[in-house]
Structure 1
Amino acid sequence: MLLRKIKSEELAEVYQMGYAAWPKGRTYKEYVRDNQKEETYGVRYVYVNEENQIIGSFILLLLQTPRLKFALHGIGSVVVHQLYQRMGYGRDMLEDFFKKMKIEKRSAIFMLYSDILPEYYHQFGFKELPSHLQRYPQSIAMVNCSESQYEYLSKQSIEDIPAYF
């Protein structure tokens, strides 16, 4: 398995995977339009097998947080192809990503909004932000960062935390 940046010709397949998971009352065309906005300030990754078939994908966004003193990256649209769900590929994909970040010595804060049970993301070092920083009952704001960064974030106001991305 290989985690790499997406190729432009693979976007349609990844959008179809995402649309199958989160249509949210939109047409496919609306879903694509909404997601194309993210491509301008993010890097989309794909997790591929030996035959170069896309198993999963996510996007890494550089979030604009002028009032925070740390770089904040959003992880969004984490999806595994329906044929490969519940086989551990989502876990493997995220583990590979965080190994890469550790090798590159990235000290950024990684954030996501969990639309599934937050406990799933604990295995990757994520923890829920305090309740005063939670906007959405169904999408829990979580971060992966150092203890000092977490303490710093915990003292911020909700206006400093990016909305759902």
Structure 2
Amino acid sequence: MRQDFITLCPFILLPFAAGGGITMKSKPMEDFEMAEHKAKITISRKIKRLHPVVKNIVNNLATIEPIRFIKISPDFLQASSEETKGRIKTPITKPGHPTAIGVALILDLDYKDIQFFEMNSATKGYGGKMVEAVLKDLPKAWNGVVVMDWSDGFWDKMKIKHNNLVIF
């Protein structure tokens, strides 16, 4: 099993041990209000301290009903209703997936940008909810960024609703 990820469960932190077994280790859980979340949140061990902006985004995404899996890396965040099968579980965010609802974000903390990398919403309405969850608590100096828009108007609608969204 991968050693660089730890999984947050509602009440305990479970790091994956080298031998493939699971050992329990206590760690402060104040980063997430776990009572409200039904999402399984996985954080890379490379992250020493979760940035407050990322914490807000994760908390907001976890409140969206279908989102059940969130994976946080130092510069990447994925949240989805489904995850891949196999040994390494990854939230499914691939556009065009027939059933998954998910978003993948590139986290550029130095430039204060959150880039929408991939997004899929198999059910109408959840795309807007995911964009809202990402953008609503961003500080004033921060922006949501869309580099490539293949959406046939979705991002133009989101730009009207959110002043902190930049489309290139």
TM superposition score normalised by structure 1: 0.38
Larger proportion of helix: 1
TM superposition score normalised by structure 2: 0.37
